Structure formats: C-alpha cells, structure tokens
Amino acid sequence: DSTWRMDTGEESIPSGVSAAKVIPGTRDPLGLLYALRAADWKSSPELRAPVFEGRHLYDVQARLGETASQVKVPAGAFSASEIRVRVFERGRELTDTNFSVWLANNAERTPVLIEATLPIGSARIELTSQR
C-alpha cells in the first residue's frame, strides 16, 4: 500500500516521496525477473544482483540450470531453461527461501513457470495463456 523510490544518490528525490538508499544496480523483485529474461545465459551462466523488496535488501545469485526441459503449463508445452535463484541477506544464505524460473527458449524468453520455497510455504506460478 505504499510506494518507494530506490535512491542511488545519482538523482534528486522530490520532497514528500519515500525513498530507500540502495547501491546502483539494485532491482525490485519484478525488475529481477526482467533481468533474468535479458541475461545472456550462454555467455555467462550466473547473474548476481542486489534486490530491494520494500523492507529488506537481499543479494541474489541466479544460475543456469537445465537448458532444454519440457515444461507443461496450462498455456501449453514449452522447451524452457531453468534458472535457479538463491537469496542471501547480510552474507548469509536464506536456506528457506529460493526459487526456480523456467524461461521459454524463444526470442521473448517468456517466463512459463516459477516455483518458490518461502518461509510461509511454497508457491507455483504457471503461465495460463499468451497472446
């Protein structure tokens, strides 16, 4: 219910706007998903990025897993690559928090499946349709 602006110190923040000081390159969780899609996994099988989710700053390490899995979701069957994501806070891995993202092996790198393990349980997000 609130809006935060990430402040790297490179731009001025208007008065009345809530801002959190972060290091350059920090992403929000949705921005991380876009970074995973944009990464050149063939050239570099790992991506590291700081992620701010509104309260905490995490370090995220993503690694290329399986590269030609067949993933079936309600939107259809896709040849997809798995990206395994580990989450760290203050240098310590959060062993109860991790997720995998399956990106279709297409030009758009469509996210077709996300499976997450969190302290409150697990989640599975499936692509149900596409245009």
Nearest to 87 by CA among 118, 64, 44: 118
| b/e code 111-126 from CB counts within 10 Å (16+ = b) | bbbbeeeeeeeeeeee
- Which residues on adjacent β-strands are paired with residue 92? 89
Average pLDDT of the chain? 88
Residue 16 vs residue 49, higher pLDDT: 49
| pLDDT confidence of residue 37 | 95
Q: Which residue carries 């991506």 as its tokens? A: 47
Q: Is 83 exposed, middle or buried (0-12, 13-18, 19+ CB in 10 A)?
A: buried
pLDDT-derived band at 4 (thresholds 50, 70, 90) equals low
pLDDT tens, 72-99? 999 999 999 999 999 999 999 999 999 9
Phi, psi of 59 (to 5 degrees): -105, 130
* pTM exceeds 0.85 for this model: no
